[in-house]
Every structure is written in C-alpha cells, then in structure tokens.
Structure 1
Amino acid sequence: MNEKSHLNHLLLLVVATLFISTSGVLGKFIDMPTPIIIWWRSALAAIFLLIFCLYKGINLKIISGKDRWTFFIAAVFMGGHWITYFYALKLANVAIGMLSVFTFPVIIALLEPLFSKTKFDPMHIVLGLMVLVGIYILAPDFDLKSGQLQGLLFGVLSAVLYSVRILILKGHVANYNGTMLMFYQVAILSIILAPLLYFMDTSNITTQYPYIILLALITTAIGHTMFVNSLKYFKASTAGIIGSTQPVFGIIMAFFFLNEIPTIHTFVGGALILGTVVIESIRSNKMK
C-alpha cells in the first residue's frame, strides 16, 4: 500500500468511526421508546444494506443450518446490546453511556477463553481492574436510584452483550462478508422486535423521521460497513485504537448539540477505560 492509498484508507477509517459515534447524540436525542427506535434503526438499515449487497453483488447465501442459528443468536445479542446502550444514553448522558460501553475490549479478552481454545492471560486481570477503577471514577455516586449510575450499569451490560455477540460470530462465520452479516442481523432483529409496534407508542415517528434515517443510514449502514471494510487494510490493533476515539467524538458532539459538559470524573474515568482499549489493542496484535 503506497503512502497516498494508506492515508486515504486511514481517513475512511476515521470517517467511519465518526459516523458510528453519532449513535450517542442520536440515541439521546430521538424522542421515542427505546425498543421502537431500535426497530426503526434495524428495519431501515436492513433495507439500505440489502440494496447495497444487491448493488455490489455480495453473496447472501448462508452455508449451513448451524450458521443460521448463529446469525439468529448474534442478532438477539446485538438487539440487547443496542437497547441497553440506548437506555444508558437516556438515563445518564452521552459521555457515561459511550464510555461504559467501551469496556467491551477487556470484557471480550476476559470471556474469550470460555468461547475458544485461547489460553487465559493474567494481564487481562490487570486490565479488568483498570476498567473497574475507571467505572468507579465515572460513577457519580453509588445510589441505585441515580439515573447516572443506572445508565452506567446499562452501559456495562450493553458491553457484555456486545462482547458475547462478537465471540459468537468470531467462532462460526469467518467465511462471510461483513456487510452481509450485518444485513442478516438487522433483518432478523427487525422481525423479532416487530410485535412491539403494537404495544408501544409509535406516534412520535412523524417528527423523528430525519433523525431515525440518520441513525439507520449514517450510523448503522454506512458507518459499520465502512468500519468492517477498513479491517482489510489495517491491523485489528490500529482499527481498535482508532475505534476507541468514538466516545471522544461522541462527547464533543454532545457538547455542541446537547450542551452536555463532561465532568473531571468523566475525563479521568474515561481516560482509564480508553487506555485499557489501547493497551489491549497493541498487546493482542503483538501476540498474533
């Protein structure tokens, strides 16, 4: 890869990260019940991704029945991850919501030996403790009635669900295109969540269309597709480190669009959590 091409791919990776970062502000801002937001996000993203797959001639065939079950279970975990993440954003703020979800690289490292033949690395205990200290600093007070603490706990739960989804997919479906994987997951999720449209208030959609379309198209379809495609050109560590700037972008957007001002606790706790992401990204790459 020549220098100009490398810079172009790097720029696209940063743009992809920026697009995915919009989930924080949009998740906090969109005024509808969380499961309904996720249904619209999934259904519209499925349409956009299907059009993209057909346009690019991406093979949509699922090889085996076992993989069908894997796709389905991964979609359920992705839905759980998105719903708990958006609850975190609404209960706390964008900074706490996004930073708590970014505990996922260390959670993946801790859970991986349970899903594969990977040996347990004692260093992950140290990184896990760093993350716990970061979460402790982020939490304004340990009152379970506090929206900030509830948001933080939902964010960590979201990170666990996301980690399990990644580990499920990693073990079974290395043979598939990333965009095709995303299409099936959002399509399955939109079917699973469809019954909720009958029980929850959806009347607000008329005023929320522009933001829902942004969430489905920019954040989900384009952002995630660009990010997955960028993995062809970069080591996982590079993508991981650049990806860890998502909360930074999210906090900046929340400052300008939602007037959310992060506290010193947010900066210190966030720096510890993101520091572990960078350390784990570099270490995991050296060990390959």
Structure 2
Amino acid sequence: MKNSHFKHLLELTLATCFISTSGVLGKYIDMPTEVLVWWRSALAFIILFAYCRYKTIDLKLHSKKDRLPFILSAFFMGAHWISYFYALKLSNVALGMLSLYTFPVIIALLEPLFIKIKFDPIHIVLGILVLLGIYILAPDFNLENSNVKGVFLGLLSAVFYALRILILKQHVAKYNGTTLMVYQLLILTVLLAPFLFFKDTSSIKTEYPYVLILALLTTAIGHTLFIKKLKYFSVSTASIISSTQPVFGIILAYIFLNEIPTFNTYIGGSLIIATVIIESVRSKKKKTD
C-alpha cells in the first residue's frame, strides 16, 4: 500500500510538472488565444484518440446522463484555458500562474457541496498557507496597469478550473482518465471552431512546433495523467499537491523567457512546497490507516 501510494504521488507530481509548461508556452506562442486553445484541443484530441485506438480503450458512454457533465466539464476547461492565457499575455508567467493557483482554496470550500464528504477544516488552513505563498511571490503592481487584469483573469480561471475538476471527480470512477479527456477535447474543439472564421490563424505556420508541444506534453500527457490520479486522492489533496505548478512554471520562465525570479519568489515558493509536503504526508497517512 505504501509503495502504491508513493507511485501515485510521484505520477501526480510528474503530471503537475508537465502541466506547468503551459505558462511558458502560453506566454511565448504568438497567436490569438481562442485559436491557440482550438489548436491545442484539436491536436491533443487526435493524439489521445489514436492512443485509445492503439490501446483499445473503451470510449463508449456508460449512460446518457453523463453527456451533460461531459459538456459542462469541457466548457469549464475551455473557459479556464482561455482566461488563463489572457492572464499570461496581460501580465507575466509568475503572476498569471500564481493567481490561477488559488484554486485549491476554492475547491476546498466547494468540494463538500459536490461530493458527499465531511468538510475538513485543515484544507482551509493549508489553502491559506498557499495563498500566503502566492501573496509573497506576486510582484508589486498598481491598479492602473495590465497586471491587475491579469490577476483577475487568473482568479476567474481558477474558478473555472475548480468547477471542472469537481465535475470530473464524480465520474473518474466510471471512466478511464484518457476517455474523459478525449470527450472534453472533442467537445471543446467543436465549441471553439467558429473562432477560426474571424480570428487570424496564419501564425500556426511558424508556431506549430510549440503548439504541438503544448498539445502533446502539457495537454495529452499532463492533463490526462492528472485526471487518472484523481481517483487515488481527494480533490483537495490533488489540487494542493499540484500547487507546485507555479514553482515549476517560474523556473521554466526563467530558463526560456529570462523572467528573473525575485527574493520573494524563493520565500513564497518555499512556503507552497512546505504546504504540499504537509498535505502529502496527511494523504499518505489516510491511505495507510
């Protein structure tokens, strides 16, 4: 049991690392946001659909009642991605990612309303610690520059992300994580198709290598692996563990975009990592009790 828990925890961390590449790629790729998300969805769908056919993964819906949750989760995933990429464009990778990762607090508050579990006050404490880390990490800004818009869009993206995860949590026991992602990507590809008719799509000619990385590494592998791991952890546990994404993202932004972290980045990042370690130990104890 202990080895199994460690394996799931390691895979969840790996998924978190892959997903964190979205910050650098979303900031770097020069393409209208809605078009970028369409390409991300369409390419990831093709990759995952081919994988399902190769592995003979069942893609059938178990019930017609599942159609609405699938559509809703796809809608919230698209809203999350679009608002998040706008936040990155308006501010920077650090601020965009850090404002997004208030979502563990939102999930901790909403989870008992979606799933029949007892409210755990410790998640509020851990969420506050994450918020404190984010507060320390965030650079100073005034109310008249675009950073404010970036923060608000990041927070809005956090709400969308939390709702998507909570909806999915009710269905991961019945479906393979890859199946869930395939349907979401297909639905989102259809929903965003109209943007191709009135947005500039010509930049795909030069940006396609980075879009492909975003579709394959960040989306097809990262998000699918994260969804698969939800069945082994509570949503609150998984989301707090994934709060290391801003730390990974800031490191990648420093390497590839020359966004130099400040002293506050190290302090706030350390606080977030400490919170993740606390929750990891707690979740392991629950699994072994």
Are 1:187 and 2:186 matched, yes or no?
A: yes
Offset of 1:273 from its aligned partner?
4.5
Offset of 1:10 from its aligned partner?
7.3
C-alpha spacing 1:281/1:91, structure 2 compared with 1 (3 Å):
farther
Asked if the contact 1:241/1:278 (under 8 Å) is kept, the reply is no
Are 1:224 and 2:223 matched, yes or no?
A: yes
CA distance in 2 between partners of 1:220 and 1:97 (Å)? 18
Give ranges in structure 2 of 5+ residues lacking alignment. Answer: none
CA distance in 2 between partners of 1:90 and 1:136 (Å)? 20
Asked if the contact 1:134/1:272 (under 8 Å) is kept, the reply is yes
1:118 counterpart residue number = 117
1:28 counterpart residue number = 27
C-alpha spacing 1:127/1:186, structure 2 compared with 1 (3 Å):
same
Residues 206-250 of structure 1 show CA distances to partners (whole Å, capped at 9, x for unaligned) of: 111111111111211122334445668x76699667644322222
Offset of 1:78 from its aligned partner?
0.5
1:213 counterpart residue number = 212
Q: Secondary structure at the match of 1:187?
A: helix
Asked if the contact 2:136/2:265 (under 8 Å) is kept, the reply is yes
1:86 counterpart residue number = 85
TM-score (norm 1): 0.85
Offset of 1:105 from its aligned partner?
2.1
TM-score (norm 2): 0.85
2:251 counterpart residue number = 252
Asked if the contact 2:77/2:160 (under 8 Å) is kept, the reply is yes
Offset of 1:16 from its aligned partner?
3.7
Asked if the contact 1:17/1:246 (under 8 Å) is kept, the reply is yes
Offset of 1:185 from its aligned partner?
0.3
C-alpha spacing 1:67/1:231, structure 2 compared with 1 (3 Å):
closer
What is the count of residue pairs matched by the alignment?
Answer: 286
Are 1:69 and 2:68 matched, yes or no?
A: yes
C-alpha spacing 1:138/1:147, structure 2 compared with 1 (3 Å):
farther
One-letter identity of the residue aligned with 1:147:
S
Residues 154-206 of structure 1 show CA distances to partners (whole Å, capped at 9, x for unaligned) of: 22221111111111111245200000100100110010000011121212111
CA distance in 2 between partners of 1:110 and 1:281 (Å)? 19
Identical positions, percent = 66
C-alpha spacing 1:137/1:2, structure 2 compared with 1 (3 Å):
closer
Asked if the contact 1:139/1:148 (under 8 Å) is kept, the reply is no
